[in-house]
A and B are shown apart, each in its own frame.
Chain A
């Protein structure tokens, strides 16, 4: 874990509100694993004040890291305004990472697709014999197309779903799972996306006997288990002695059965 200033070496506007930044940070990139995250402080000002957590979207061979985000609030807005050559303050890599299995189904929704690219990249590089099914969903074709293309570059053919039906299945990405995986028991799922989507995937996995890892996002002030702001409730069956889990250190990747899913 390190803190450093990283220059922005590339800025891509993938869709109207979808931005990808490439940050040169070899000291962090070298030890990063898929599922881990960074906290970014976009400038010295007091508003926005807190660092923002971002999953690591991809690691590039020259020691760069990529983050993918939508411009949603003051934190992402200030980050989106930065130009190539300007620097941001990074702390990372933080948290735990996805475990790999011989047959993996990656299920990503919206921005949750971000860490799955890094995971797919690692599987391709380090365990090419792995069977992969890739299911990606987003609001529309415009948001999904640039991301799907990166997986295609890894030789993967994603099954797609969009909310508006502009590309692939018209509906939820979770609808694609039964057809993609059939009745086989060996699949292990790696999932990241909106909470209701992950809850649905977790329920399906429990029903079918598939192990499921989900990557959670919460409000977070520090990312290093000092503030304890990122608490999530554990499943009653997990023995924590009544304690909460903390996304920054116990996660962000959890076994879905270890969490208490709220309606």
Chain B
């Protein structure tokens, strides 16, 4: 094999072209600017911002997080500034720096999702929308859509009709058959699916003899969930034709390459951003070095290679 001096890292997510496959996972990267001291934001494939709702949300009462073996539970409860303040206060910063921005959105009804999409259609500097139909931490936070393939299909179809932006649907692992959900949103018109969101879990304090989180349950993330996430990406890759964005416990370039080999066209880095705020840049550099060393000229050559 010949060493490749500069392998192609650009990938396509349906109509969306990205310079590389390393994205951030919603809820772990703030609105992007928080990571300016640590990462060249414009150098990432895209920045996926914190989940945005029509109106600001205060989120859940504390305690909101707890560490568990090789992972963490969170029940933030979708605290966010709302779409208007996002567009006026947060988006211009990312746009001016040339970042590709994917806006994760959530609502309580099909109408709310559609209004969010319509608002983002008009906003300058949005590359795509990611429908959060899988947040486990709020009673009405899209989770009903994520647990029922008929509702997921309807929501995707309705937002597809109004969206001029590429549409990604983020899937919940807290279902019996994630392949069924992926097929439902593909048929509904999604341009790509991203998976997985967090796994519902909990922790109990033996000292207080009560749940640690005020919300009782929370979403498990981090290295602990990687094997589950990888299996789900591999599984879904066999069932849909649209591109997959792999998420779940990715903290190193090796993790990222595993997801790509399982069939992911891109990956999102989540909890690892908390552990090492420079994680995304390190993973991107690691993927590039791996391709060079292996004599692979284009990252697209290895997407799904473990399946072949």
Contacts and interface: CB of A to CB of B under 8 A. Distances in A.
B211 interface: no
A57 interface: no
A130 B160 CA distance: 65
Given A3-B37, A226-B35, A228-B79, A50 B275 contact: yes
Interface string B260-281: 0000000000010111111000
A225 B72 CA distance: 17
Interface of A: 1-3, 41, 46-51, 89, 91, 218-222, 224-233, 241-244
Nearest to B29: A226
Contacts of A243: 56, 58, 79
Contacts of A226: 28-30, 34-35, 273-274
Contacts of A230: 62, 64
Tell me the interface secondary structure of chain B in the complex.
loop
B104 interface: no
B63 interface: yes
Contacts of A241: 56
B30 A225 contact: yes
B298 to A, nearest CB: 31
A222 B273 contact: yes
B38 A219 contact: no
Given A3-B37, A231-B79, A41 B59 contact: no
Nearest to A223: B274
Nearest to B63: A219
A231 B64 contact: yes
Contacts of A49: 67, 70-72, 222-223, 271, 275
B74 interface: yes
B47 to A, nearest CB: 12
A3 B278 contact: yes
Given A49-B222, A227-B76, A244-B62, A222 B69 contact: no
Contacts of A219: 62-67
A229 B74 contact: yes
Contacts of B30: 224-226
Contacts of A46: 70, 222-223, 251
Interface residues of B, number: 36
Contacts of B72: 49-50, 221
Contact of A1 (B37, B58, B64, B70): B37
A230 B274 CA distance: 13
A222 B24 CA distance: 15
Contacts of B60: 231
Contact of B61 (A89, A91, A233): A233
A227 B74 contact: yes
B90 to A, nearest CB: 13
Among all A-B residue pairs, the 5 with the closest Cβ atoms? A229-B65, A226-B30, A222-B274, A221-B274, A46-B70
Contact of A232 (B56, B62, B70): B62
A41 B71 contact: no
28 contacts: A2-B37, A3-B277, A41-B275, A46-B223, A46-B251, A49-B72, A91-B277, A218-B62, A218-B63, A219-B64, A220-B65, A221-B74, A221-B274, A222-B273, A224-B35, A224-B277, A225-B30, A226-B28, A226-B274, A227-B65, A227-B74, A228-B59, A229-B76, A231-B61, A231-B76, A233-B62, A243-B79, A244-B58
A46 B72 CA distance: 11
A220 B274 CA distance: 9
B177 to A, nearest CB: 29
Contacts of B70: 46-47, 49
B274 to A, nearest CB: 4
A219 B273 CA distance: 16
Contact of A225 (B28, B34, B64, B278): B34
A62 to B, nearest CB: 24
Contacts of B67: 48-50, 219
B277 A221 contact: no
Contacts of B251: 46
B38 A3 contact: yes
A227 B28 contact: yes
A51 B278 contact: no
Contacts of B28: 226-227
Contacts of A222: 34, 273-274, 277
Interface string B24-51: 0001111000110110000000000000
Nearest to A218: B62
A219 B69 CA distance: 15
A229 B64 contact: yes
Nearest to B64: A229
Contacts of A1: 37
Contacts of A41: 275-276
Contacts of A227: 27-28, 65, 74, 76, 274
Contacts of B273: 222, 226
A49 B69 CA distance: 8
